[in-house]
Amino acid sequence: MNVLLIGSGGREHALAWKLAQSSFLTQLFVAPGNAGTAALASNLKLDVSNHDAVSRNIKKHGINMVVVGPEAPLVDGLVDHLLDCGKHPELVVIGPRREGAQLEGSKAFAKEFMRRHNIPTARYGSFQGTEVEDAIAFLNTMEPPYVVKADGLAAGKGVIITEDLNEAQKVVRDMLSGASFGSAGERVVIEEFMDGIECSMFAVTDGKAYHLLPSAKDYKRIGEGDTGPNTGGMGAVSPVPFMDAEFHEKAINQIIIPTVKGLAADDIAYNGFLFFGLMKVGGDPYVVEYNCRLGDPETEVIVPRIQSDLLHLFENMGAGLLSEYHLQIDPRTCSTVMLVSEGYPGTYKKGKVISVPERLDKDAFLFHSGTSRSRGNMVTNGGRILACSAMAANPENALKKSYALANEVTFDGKYSRSDIGRDLL
């Protein structure tokens, strides 16, 4: 089977690494990929927002399956195009259509979905551009801290949390006027602040059955002790010690099953990943957000724990046979520490030469995020550069190995947080 994986981050390198081990794989293509995926697969220089170009490459390379990594092509309707253009009748696509991707692409859609299906989440109101005064009146009834969210995709920056009512009102006005987030802010969600600890659960579903993937916690802020601006994620650990069996059970019954059933009840076909961003409040799970794809860097700690053949799992999803599939997960801990460019998540330089250890320890994995090749060198090509993942019997030893690996990598301006996972020890 020939597979095309869409994306270019650490998530895609981890997925490519796992897919490349499958006995069902003939050839793996990644578009556009990075220096890490180039070592395992053929990178295709391809603008994935050009749906016709993707379609042509599927024909050209005899692709049987497309796996979509990031959210943007899903929200943009790439899957609908590939399935509806009539050119690929046998193609299996892992990733939801545009409608299902609205769970991530529109916070108002996600909140309405949760309300409809009684899925626990923060109380909220959602408002569009013509409803500024209603939005302000609703905001005035809330208690601080105030949580204001742009409806659409905003690369993790569309959520403002503030103790200051005047600032929250200004955020609402700026978003609804289109001044701050463009079309992503044409609608806003104002919601109750949830005081708890965040963690994430992941599932694959074919719209009927689902399988849980390993849970994870990521570290979003740039600075030590969870300070400073949000990033895409500075590290992750799986499993999460405070997500005990009782919490998992509640999350499965109150959130995951109702979500899969809710999609079916709403007639939303869904063949792909579900990412549940959760808040644990006094032992109970609430949904903070849905994503319609895997997380990054969560994938870099989830994938090493999957013992089953991932391509075989995807084939079962494509055939609607997920319920018959048995997924095996390694019980050990996997951690990852992200190495980023100085200046990230603000501005940073690219093109710095990277040196990596020639040989990795057993159970240590270096997943590439923003890397490319230039004149025979591996160079930095983004904010997040490399995810240093490692498996061990417990979080302490996994993190030790991740940090040992992180120390062996060098590039000008290398930065990482030194406290990933420390709160879990």
Residues composing the chain: 425
Query: Which residue from 12, 191, 206, 218 is in contact with ligand GLY, where contact means CB under 6 A?
Result: 218
Binding mask 370-409 for ligand GLY (x = CB under 6 A): ----------------------------------------
Q: Which is nearer to ligand GLY, 270 or 276 (CB)?
A: 276
Check: CB of residue 247 under 8 Å from CB of residue 255: no
The string of DSSP letters for 120-175 reads -B--EEEEEGGGHHHHHHHHHHSPSSEEEEESS--TT--EEEES-HHHHHHHHHHH
Q: What is the 8-class DSSP label of residue 370?
A: S
Q: How far is the CB of 240 from ligand GLY (least distance, A)?
A: 14
Site for ligand AMP in 94-123 (CB under 6 A): 122
Query: Does position 138 bind ligand AMP by CB under 6 A?
Result: no
Q: Give the list of residues 6+ apart from residue 377 with CB closer than 8 angstroms, or none.
A: 353, 354
Positions in 230-289 near ligand AMP (CB under 6 A): 277, 288-289
Helix (H) or strand (E) holding 290: strand 284-291
Q: Is 159 among the residues that bind ligand AMP (CB under 6 A)? A: yes
Asked if residue 198 binds ligand AMP (CB under 6 A), the reply is: yes
Q: Which of 206, 298, 300, 315 binds ligand GLY (CB under 6 A)?
A: 298
Residue 194 in contact with ligand AMP, rule: CB under 6 A:
yes
Q: What is the widest separation between alpha-carbon atoms in the chain?
A: 61
Q: What is the phi/psi pair of residue 126, to 5°? A: -125, 140
302 counts as binding ligand AMP under rule CB under 6 A: no
* Nearest alpha-carbon partner for 78 in 95, 102, 64, 56: 95
CA distances from 394 to 238, 267, 401, 402, 417 (A): 10, 42, 11, 12, 20
Assess contact for 231 and 383: CB atoms under 8 A.
yes
For ligand GLY, the binding residue among 296, 341, 364, 370 (CB under 6 A) is: 296
Minimum distance of ligand AMP from residue 375's CB (angstroms): 39
- Residue 137: partners with Cβ closer than 8 Å, 6 or more residues away: none
Span of 25-33, 188-196, 332-340, 400-408 interacting with ligand AMP by CB under 6 A: 188-196
Minimum CB–partner distance for residue 236 and ligand GLY (Å): 7
- CB nearest ligand AMP: which residue? 289
Minimal CA–CA distance to 299: which of 340, 238, 248?
238
- The helix (run of H) or strand (run of E) holding residue 333 is strand 333-341
Structure tokens at 383: 């904010």
Identity of the amino acid at 40:
L
Residue 288 interface partner, choices ligand GLY, ligand AMP, none, CB cut-off 5-8 Å depending on type: ligand AMP
Q: Which is nearer to ligand AMP, 76 or 198 (CB)?
A: 198
Q: How many CB atoms lie within 10 A of CB 374?
A: 13
Q: Is the dihedral of CA 247, 250, 254, 257 positive or negative?
A: positive
Q: Which stretch binds ligand GLY (CB under 6 A): 263-271, 289-297, 347-355, 414-422?
A: 289-297
Phi, psi of 330 (to 5 degrees): -70, 125
69 lies in the binding site for ligand GLY (CB under 6 A)? no
d(CA 306, CA 254): 25
- 291 lies in the binding site for ligand GLY (CB under 6 A): yes
Instruction: Match 């990521």 to its residue by tokens.
Output: 218
* 304 binding partner (options ligand AMP, ligand GLY, none; Cβ < 5 to 8 Å by kind): none
Query: Closer CB to ligand AMP, residue 142 or residue 364?
Result: 142
Residue 339: CB minimum distance to ligand GLY, A: 15
Stretch that binds ligand AMP, among 185-193, 243-251, 307-315, 412-420 (CB under 6 A): 185-193
Choosing from 191, 296, 298, 300, the residue that interacts with ligand AMP (CB under 6 A) is 191
Residue 105 near ligand GLY by CB under 6 A: no
Report how many residues bind ligand AMP under the rule CB under 6 A.
13
Q: Is 233 in the site for ligand GLY (CB under 6 A)?
A: yes
Helix (H, G, I), strand (E, B) or coil at 309: coil
Closer residue to ligand AMP (CB): 40 or 154: 154
Quick check: 12 binds ligand GLY (CB under 6 A)? no
Summarize as ranges the residues that interact with ligand AMP (CB under 6 A).
122, 147, 149, 159, 161, 191-194, 198, 277, 288-289
